[in-house]
Amino acid sequence: MAHQQIYQTMQLEGATYFSAAPPLTKRRRWGEEVIQKVLWVCGAVSILTTLGIIFLLGQEALLFFRRQEVVLAKFLTGWTWQPQTLQFGIWPLVNATLGASLIAMALALPLGLLIAIYLSEYASPRGRSILKPILEILAGIPTVVYGYFALTFVTPVLRRTFGFDLVEVFNLASAGLVIGILVLPMVTSMSEDALRAVPISLREAAFGLGATRLETSVRVVVPAALSGISAACIVAMSRAIGETMIVAIAAGAGPRNFENWGEALEGLQALNPFQAAETMTGHIVRISGGDLSYESLDYDSLFAIGLLLFLLTLVLNIISRAIVKRFREQYD
């Protein structure tokens, strides 16, 4: 890097001005090389982690799919997850995961974006210096505390509001709303970063044309920051999908099974947010929380779910990075 350039310049200058002097050669410094190798190993650990995740999840999941009880097609299309009767259809778990995540997004996206606009476009520097740390505190609270909050506060409030018959003690809505609160700081701070990255000249041009502050924010700044904002949304979605403790505590212990697609979609039963349902992450935690034999079908099935979960979040993360890279507006 920098020192190489200097080194090259020195060599060049040596060649030009001091041609009589012996050429500068690079002496091998063993200490330096050892340090560089050690640091290289540190960097390589992260690669090993990724390879480990992919390899191990893949290997164990393969063990699962190789078993004769398991049919891949049924795994991908089935609506019953019942290891006791050897029925492994992933949809009840996926449905609950997506349901909770969508509820979370429905809360976190509008609220997060509005707060971000307020912080970036309206709040005074002093107001921002108070509000941002508070949001950071919210981001630093452990998820198990949010789980407690969901079960002991949000669920009772929902039950009192919508009726005790309609809303079950464990339900997807409560878990989803609290996941929304969990990802809110993330949506806010990422969106705010994107909004603040929009150059001030754009705002000034809009004001110069007679736009109000609202018109400037909504019609100029937000569109300009759209790539960053959508990346924030996708990362938040990925985080919501992978969230575990809240759903493990508040969403229920047991997949919401159906016979087939017809039954699941009949009267949109599968989408009822007020009933208990188990998400992918919730299922993994519940099953692995008990004493699990390493050779059992249950154990292997967890890794099939884990692999799906990993791929789902990985794809979302890659998409978000691609959006930022591809659609970023360059103003300078």
Partner 1 sequence: MSVNESSRPSWMAAGGFPTGDRQIRLDCNRHRLGRIWVMLLRISTFLGLLVLGTLLYNVINSSFGFIVSRNAFSPELLVLEVSPHVKAGDSLRDAAAAVRNDADLIAIVPRGSEGSGLEGLQTLVLPLTDFEETFQLLAIASADNRVLAQATPADIEASLPVGGQWSDISKELSEVPVRLLLVPDDIGVMSAWLGSLDVPELSTLNKQQLTGVLGSHVSEGLIRRLERDQPFDSRSKENILELIQLRVVSPQIVASFSLGDTVLRRNQAEAVAAENLATLEFKSWLTRDFITDAQSSRPVLTGIRTALFGSLWVIAITIFFSVPLGIGAAIYLEEYSSHNWFGRIIETNINNLAGVPSIIYGMLGLVIFVRALNLLTSGALFGLVTEQESNGRTVISAGLTLGLLILPVIIINGQEAIRAVPNSLREASYGVGATKWMTVRHHVLPSAAPGIFTGAILAVSRAVGETAPLVVIGAATFISTDPDGPFSKFTVLPIQIYQWTSRPQPEFRHIAAAAILVLLALLLIINTTAVLLRQRYSQHRI
Near partner 1 in 44-63, by CB under 8 A: 44-47, 49-50, 52-53, 56-57, 60
First to last CA, the chain: 25
Is 265 a binding residue for partner 1 by CB under 8 A? The answer is no
Amino acid at 240: A
Is 158 a binding residue for partner 1 by CB under 8 A? The answer is no
Which one of the spans 68-76, 158-166, 261-269, 304-312 is the region binding partner 1 (CB under 8 A)?
304-312
Distance in angstroms (rounded) separating the CA atoms of residues 11 and 7: 6
Residue choice 135, 158, 194, 225 for contact with partner 1 (CB under 8 A): 135
- Crossing angle of helices 155-162 and 172-196, in 10° steps, is 110
Site for partner 1 in 57-116 (CB under 8 A): 57, 60, 110-111, 114-115
Is 296 a binding residue for partner 1 by CB under 8 A? The answer is no
- Say how many C-beta atoms besides its own lie within 10 A of residue 241's C-beta: 21
Number of residues that bind partner 1 (CB under 8 A): 91
Is 262 a binding residue for partner 1 by CB under 8 A? The answer is no
Is 229 a binding residue for partner 1 by CB under 8 A? The answer is no
Least distance from partner 1 to the Cβ atom of residue 243, Å: 7
Q: How remote is the C-alpha of 249 from its chain's centroid?
A: 20
- Collapsing DSSP to helix, strand or coil, 81 comes out as strand
Site map (CB under 8 A) of partner 1, residues 167-186, x = contact: --------------x--x--
Is 159 a binding residue for partner 1 by CB under 8 A? The answer is no
In terms of phi and psi (left: phi > 0; alpha: psi -120 to 50; beta: otherwise), the region of 219 is alpha
Nearest one of 177, 308, 316, 176 to 233, comparing CA atoms: 316
Least distance from partner 1 to the Cβ atom of residue 165, Å: 20
In terms of phi and psi (left: phi > 0; alpha: psi -120 to 50; beta: otherwise), the region of 228 is alpha
C-alpha triplet 105, 109, 113: angle, nearest 5°: 170
Which one of the spans 74-82, 83-91, 129-137, 193-201 is the region binding partner 1 (CB under 8 A)?
129-137
Is 15 a binding residue for partner 1 by CB under 8 A? The answer is no
Task: Specify the residue, 249 or 264, whose C-beta has the smaller distance to partner 1.
Answer: 249
